[in-house]
């Protein structure tokens, strides 16, 4: 063994042994940090690059991947020193839990997509993982996932026609891993789909009775969207799967649009369009006393309605809609009123309605650029960048787009990873942009999607400092806050981690919330609360920042945003601050808003236990905690996330074993 190993590391014990390697728990002698040492034998009958895992991981930096510290290449073995990942592998977790509820599985699905997006986005060559399965996914104590074992990962080279090694896990591996074609992103999508099938049903591909039936045949409570997405991931023909993880994520982000009501809507959109047209004809007949003889007078009235709508469109889109309804009554066969009505819905923030309205009218006006742009812009606001990009592209072929549309088109391409296309659109914007506000904003967005957070910060600050447009300033503030949020996720030594990031975020969002028209922006309010919380953690659980975080989360709730996690965040911050009465009040609000949810009772029980444990033993009384535990037990739903209840149950059992209950 290389003497440097003994100088720096000490083996504690063997913790696992597989077909290709032995795994040891070790510690770094100087820091006492626990690590893992993988010993991989070179004397195996498989054509495999033993340094593949280390060579790949040593260049990567992602919160869901282990970090490599050292590599020792010996005659018979390769030793790789990397992070020790605490927690339990998902295959072990599934053995105990059976399966995961859909809301938990959905979160894991998006997280695994996130790390695959990072790997597939590696340059110059994307990294194909090739061994996605529950045993290679660690569930850490904080609830986050980490992907382990890169032993068969490889870099994808577009010129190759096949893989150098035929290897994978039967059942989870895609068909092409055992054939003649090269693994690519679709290979990982297949394995991810099989993994999610296992997580959602509790049945792995190598277990009886695994049958590969549609998820909803196995469990009708699983959503239509999840059923469709998983089934598309695991199609044997890779050309029929999602072609990229970005495309997969686009469907996951809008999983609700696959439900039965939406499908019925799409099937019947032609009938609905014809019915709407008939209603318009009747209304026009009643108002004008007959449709056939309107002639020039009808045209003048139609154009007058359009002009009135244009005059108030930006400031009062609802008023514009009334003029446009009147116009469509006057002449149902002309497309302008429908396109402008869709745009008014978009301006009014009614993005789902805009999409439904536009789709229903595309049968009659398939090439109307206003309808295409309304669809593109609404999908963009809903962060469905794949659909948005398609409609922007269609609109660009029909009309010269306005600079605001080009702005969103460029950002959309950036979010889809099509940087060169985004930069081409930016070149168009620069030619049209007199103030440079939009040019700087789009440049900042391109920096952001590339992970160049320092450049993005500087560029968004320029927009805020120079723009006279309140809407442009709002966009730039939100983009800047998002940049700070994502930069904060990087480790302290990363060159793209912005210095003093939480304080900068708090201050920037504070400036934004003082701007006219932005005082009640709940997105920014929530982001500022999260920044206060992050800074509090960095400052050793600073009480003042914890209280500000809690107050901010509750302010978002009071503004009408009802999300369970906001109550949990506020409670946690108050608890860390030692403000137990305030924490109880938050849980009271939580219970009132969600009377059938067990979580507020479970959290209150845990709070009572913590308070009692802080007292002298003779004064401790856990009765109130036990009462809340019983309330929680009566509300637990086996199909929901029961993590909080499991934690509480462990505490209650400890109290019983200790004779306190």
pLDDT digits (tens, 9 = 90+) for 488-507: 999 888 999 999 999 999 99
- Please give the pLDDT value at position 168: 56
Please state, for a pLDDT cut of 90, what percent of the chain lies above it. 50
* pLDDT, average across residues 140-151: 80
Left, alpha or beta for 204 (phi > 0: left; psi -120 to 50: alpha)?
beta
- Please give the pLDDT value at position 260: 53
Q: Indicate whether 287 pLDDT > 70.
A: no
Tokens (6 digits) for 177: 């891993």
Angle at the Cα of 54 (from 6 to 493), degrees rounded to 5?
85
- Please give the pLDDT value at position 342: 93
Lowest mean pLDDT, pick from 49-53, 112-116, 368-372, 590-594? 49-53
* Banded pLDDT at 157 (limits 50, 70, 90): very low
Lowest mean pLDDT, pick from 161-165, 217-221, 420-424? 161-165
- Please give the pLDDT value at position 61: 82
State whether residue 477 is helix, strand or coil.
helix
**Eight-state DSSP code of residue 158:** T
Tell which residue, 458, 423, 424, 425, has the closest CA to residue 444. 458
SS3 content of the chain, % helix, strand, coil (to 5): 60, 10, 35
- Please give the pLDDT value at position 268: 47
Cross-strand partners of 296: none
Of the CA atoms within 13 Å of residue 49, those in its CB half-sphere come to: 14
Other CB atoms within 10 Å distance of the CB of residue 164: 12
Tell which residue, 191, 127, 119, has the closest CA to residue 155. 127
- Please give the pLDDT value at position 50: 45
Q: Would you call the peptide bond into 124 cis, given omega within 30 degrees of 0 as the criterion?
A: yes
Q: Indicate whether 293 pLDDT > 70.
A: no
Lowest mean pLDDT, pick from 55-69, 352-366, 595-609? 55-69
pLDDT tens digits along 509-528: 999 999 988 888 999 999 99
CA distance 443 to 118: 21
In the block, residue with structure tokens 């009772």: 601
Other CB atoms within 10 Å distance of the CB of residue 157: 10
Left, alpha or beta for 129 (phi > 0: left; psi -120 to 50: alpha)?
alpha
Lowest mean pLDDT, pick from 90-99, 447-456, 499-508? 90-99
Other CB atoms within 10 Å distance of the CB of residue 227: 19
Q: Indicate whether 274 pLDDT > 50.
A: no
- Please give the pLDDT value at position 365: 86
CA distance 534 to 481: 13
Cross-strand partners of 10: 27
pLDDT tens digits along 168-209: 567 788 887 765 556 788 999 999 999 999 999 988 886 655
State whether residue 544 is helix, strand or coil.
helix
State whether residue 17 is helix, strand or coil.
strand
- Please give the pLDDT value at position 170: 73
CA distance 30 to 45: 38
CA distance 379 to 359: 12
Cβ pair 612, 596 in contact under 8 A: no
> How far does CA 549 lie from the centroid of its chain?
22
CA distance 463 to 467: 6
- Please give the pLDDT value at position 72: 85
- Please give the pLDDT value at position 488: 92
More confident residue, 534 or 266: 534
Fold that domain 3-83 belongs to in CATH: Phosphorylase Kinase; domain 1 (3.30.200)
301-304 long-range contacts, CB within 8 A, separation 24+: 301/330, 302/327, 302/330, 302/331, 302/334, 302/337
274's CB contacts (< 8 A; 6+ apart) are none
CA distance 56 to 65: 11
Torsion sign (Cα): 206, 210, 212, 218? negative
For every residue of 482-507, DSSP letters joined together read HHHHHHTTS-TT-TTSPTTHHHHHHH
Highest mean pLDDT, choosing among 117-126, 174-183, 465-474: 465-474
CA distance 426 to 432: 10
* pLDDT, average across residues 355-363: 92
- Please give the pLDDT value at position 632: 94
Q: Indicate whether 47 pLDDT > 70.
A: no
Q: Please check whether the two domains, 3-83 and 88-258, share a CATH topology.
A: no
Other CB atoms within 10 Å distance of the CB of residue 221: 9
Q: Indicate whether 163 pLDDT > 70.
A: no
What CATH code is assigned to 88-258? 1.10.510.10
Query: Domain residue spans in the chain?
Result: 3-83, 88-258, 597-660
CA distance 576 to 542: 9
- Please give the pLDDT value at position 587: 97
Left, alpha or beta for 130 (phi > 0: left; psi -120 to 50: alpha)?
left
* Banded pLDDT at 245 (limits 50, 70, 90): very high
pLDDT tens digits along 419-452: 999 999 999 999 988 889 999 999 999 999 999 9
Lowest mean pLDDT, pick from 238-247, 393-402, 635-644? 635-644
Average pLDDT, the chain: 85
Lowest mean pLDDT, pick from 51-55, 502-506, 530-534? 51-55
- Please give the pLDDT value at position 350: 92
Q: Indicate whether 314 pLDDT > 90.
A: no
Q: Indicate whether 22 pLDDT > 90.
A: no
CB crowding 23-59: b at 16 or more within 10 Å, else e: bbebeeeeeeeebbbbbbeeeeeeebebebbbebbbe
* Banded pLDDT at 277 (limits 50, 70, 90): very low
State whether residue 657 is helix, strand or coil.
helix
Please state, for a pLDDT cut of 70, what percent of the chain lies above it. 86
Torsion sign (Cα): 529, 532, 538, 539? negative
* Banded pLDDT at 96 (limits 50, 70, 90): confident
Q: Indicate whether 639 pLDDT > 70.
A: no
In the block, residue with structure tokens 């609404």: 378
* Banded pLDDT at 159 (limits 50, 70, 90): very low
Tokens (6 digits) for 92: 């072990």
Tell which residue, 252, 239, 234, has the closest CA to residue 117. 252
- Entry pTM: 0.53
Tokens (6 digits) for 131: 């061994």
């Amino acid at each position: 063994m290389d003497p440097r190993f003994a100088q720096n590391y000490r083996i504690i014990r063997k913790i696992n042994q597989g077909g290709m390697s032995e795994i040891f728990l070790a510690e770094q002698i100087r820091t006492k940090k626990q690590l893992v040492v993988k010993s991989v034998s070179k004397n195996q009958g498989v054509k495999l690059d033993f340094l593949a895992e280390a060579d790949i991981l040593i260049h990567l930096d992602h919160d869901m991947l282990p970090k490599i510290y050292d590599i020792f290449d010996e005659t018979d073995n390769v030793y790789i020193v990397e992070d020790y990942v605490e927690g339990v592998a998902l295959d072990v977790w599934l053995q105990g839990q059976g399966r995961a509820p859909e809301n938990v599985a959905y979160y894991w699905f998006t997280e695994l997509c996130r790390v695959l997006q990072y790997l597939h986005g590696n340059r110059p060559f994307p990294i194909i993982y090739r061994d996605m399965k529950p045993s290679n996914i660690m569930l850490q104590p904080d609830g986050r996932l980490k992907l382990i074992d890169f032993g068969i990962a490889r870099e994808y080279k577009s010129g190759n026609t096949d893989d150098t090694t035929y290897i994978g896990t039967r059942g989870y591996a895609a068909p092409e891993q055992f054939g003649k074609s090269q693994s690519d992103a679709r290979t990982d999508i297949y394995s991810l789909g099989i993994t999610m099938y296992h997580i959602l049903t509790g049945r792995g591909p190598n277990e009886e009775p695994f049958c590969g039936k549609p998820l909803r045949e196995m469990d009708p409570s699983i959503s239509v969207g999840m059923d469709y997405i998983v089934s598309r991931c695991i199609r044997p023909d890779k050309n029929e799967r999602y072609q990229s993880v970005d495309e997969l994520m686009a469907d996951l982000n809008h999983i609700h649009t696959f439900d039965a009501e939406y499908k019925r809507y799409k099937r019947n959109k032609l009938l609905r369009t014809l019915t709407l047209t008939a209603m318009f004809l009747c209304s026009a007949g009643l108002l004008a006393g007959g449709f056939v003889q309107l002639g020039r007078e009808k045209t003048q009235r139609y154009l007058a309605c359009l002009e009135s709508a244009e005059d108030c469109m930006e400031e009062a889109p609802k008023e514009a809609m009334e003029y446009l309804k009147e116009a469509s009554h006057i002449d149902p066969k002309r497309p302008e009123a429908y396109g402008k009505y869709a745009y008014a819905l978009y301006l009014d923030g009614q993005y789902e309605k805009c999409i439904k309205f536009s789709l229903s009218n595309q049968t009659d006006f398939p090439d109307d650029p206003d309808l295409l742009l309304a669809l593109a812009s609404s999908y963009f606001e809903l962060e469905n960048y794949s659909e948005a990009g398609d409609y922007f592209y269609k609109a660009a072929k029909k009309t010269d787009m306005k600079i605001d549309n080009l702005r969103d088109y460029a950002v959309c391409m950036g979010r889809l990873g099509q940087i060169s296309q985004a930069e081409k659109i930016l070149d168009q914007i620069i030619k049209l942009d007199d103030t440079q506000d939009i040019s700087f904003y789009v440049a900042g967005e391109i920096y952001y999607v590339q992970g160049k957070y320092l450049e993005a910060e500087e560029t968004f600050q320029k927009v805020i400092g120079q723009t006279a447009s309140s809407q442009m300033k709002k966009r730039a503030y939100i983009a800047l806050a998002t940049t700070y949020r994502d930069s904060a996720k990087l480790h302290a030594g990363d060159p793209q981690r912005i210095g003093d990031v939480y304080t900068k975020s708090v201050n920037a969002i504070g400036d934004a919330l003082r701007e006219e028209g932005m005082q009640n922006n709940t997105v920014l309010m929530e982001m500022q609360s999260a920044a206060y919380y992050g800074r509090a953690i960095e400052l050793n659980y600073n009480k003042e920042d914890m209280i500000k975080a809690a107050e901010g989360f509750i302010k978002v709730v009071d503004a009408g945003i009802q999300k369970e996690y906001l109550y949990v965040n506020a409670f946690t911050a108050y608890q860390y601050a030692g403000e137990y009465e305030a924490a109880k009040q938050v849980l009271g609000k939580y219970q009132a808003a969600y009377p059938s949810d067990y979580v507020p009772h479970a959290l209150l029980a845990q709070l009572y236990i913590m308070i009692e444990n802080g007292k002298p033993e003779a004064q401790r009384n856990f009765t109130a905690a036990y009462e809340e535990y019983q309330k929680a037990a009566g509300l637990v739903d086996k199909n929901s996330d029961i993590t909080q209840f499991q934690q509480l149950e462990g505490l209650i059992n400890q109290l019983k074993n200790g004779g306190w209950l």
